[in-house]
Structure 1
Amino acid sequence: MKETLKELSEIVAQANDIFFERNKSVDTLMGIMDKTLRKQGMEADAITIDCIAINKKIVLVLHDSKPDLVDIALGDKAGVVHSSSEHVLKDVNIAQIIAMMEENFLN
């Protein structure tokens, strides 16, 4: 696993744990895609946060061609993306991920 993916996955895991502590009735599932996208021909890794009960998903994509950035997409399990934005990787933090989860999984 690449170091950037490892570091970002640790941030997401911590955010997911805090989110669950605050919202025990909302189950989420975190996934790491460190080979799946590459097998499909994409030079990227991803972390997913799924809220299966309400069919919503947050996907954080690390493209090899943009090593200092992360694309964050909000959508559903079927792959429909409702919004997407690019963030400076070093600026992504636990509080920001928790805020995204609360905005997308609680509203």
Structure 2
Amino acid sequence: MIDKYLKQLCDNVTDAHSRIKQDFKEIDPVVGVSQKMRDSGIAADVMTIDCLRSGKRIIIILHDQQPNIVSYQFTFKAQDPAEQFEQTPLAELSADKLYDWMESYFS
């Protein structure tokens, strides 16, 4: 079952994704959610937002221990992520902010 924090993140990404697809047909991001880190004993969910055209990726991690904080990184699909992630409060990761991230990073 998706907890309320992951649902909030998914709802915001869905809204941003829909608007990006409408406003920027060339971006057409692909969103994925994985809970496979849990299989390795890491209590976190991972969301990826990929731009297939550019090969760029946004990684968002929602840790169980800090559900109000998300870790994120702007990277590339074909590369392993760097060790250092930025952090932001989940409450500040609005649909508008996610839209801005996709527009600026994927354009």
For 2:58, the equivalent position in structure 1 comes to: 58
Instruction: Give 1:40 deviation, angstroms.
Output: 2.4
Instruction: Give 1:95 deviation, angstroms.
Output: 0.9
TM-score by length of structure 1 reads 0.89
Identity of aligned pairs, percent?
Answer: 27
Secondary structure of 2:98's partner? Answer: helix
Residue 25, structure 1, aligned to residue 26, structure 2? yes
Separation in structure 2 between the aligned mates of residue 65 and residue 80 of structure 1, nearest angstrom: 21
Residue 104, structure 1, aligned to residue 102, structure 2? no
Q: Answer yes or no: is the 8 Å Cα contact 1:75–1:82 preserved in 2.
A: no
Instruction: Give 1:25 deviation, angstroms.
Output: 1.6
Instruction: Give 1:59 deviation, angstroms.
Output: 1.1
Q: Which moved more, 1:55-64 or 1:73-82?
A: 73-82
Secondary structure of 1:53's partner? Answer: coil
* Alignment size in residue pairs: 105
Cα RMSD of the aligned pairs, angstroms, is: 1.7
Q: Equivalences for 1:6-25 in 2 at 5 Å?
A: 6-25=7-26
For 1:74, the equivalent position in structure 2 comes to: 74
Structure 1: gaps of 5 or more residues: none
The ranges of structure 1 where at least 4 consecutive aligned residues each deviate by more than 3 angstroms after the TM superposition are 80-84
TM-score by length of structure 2 reads 0.89
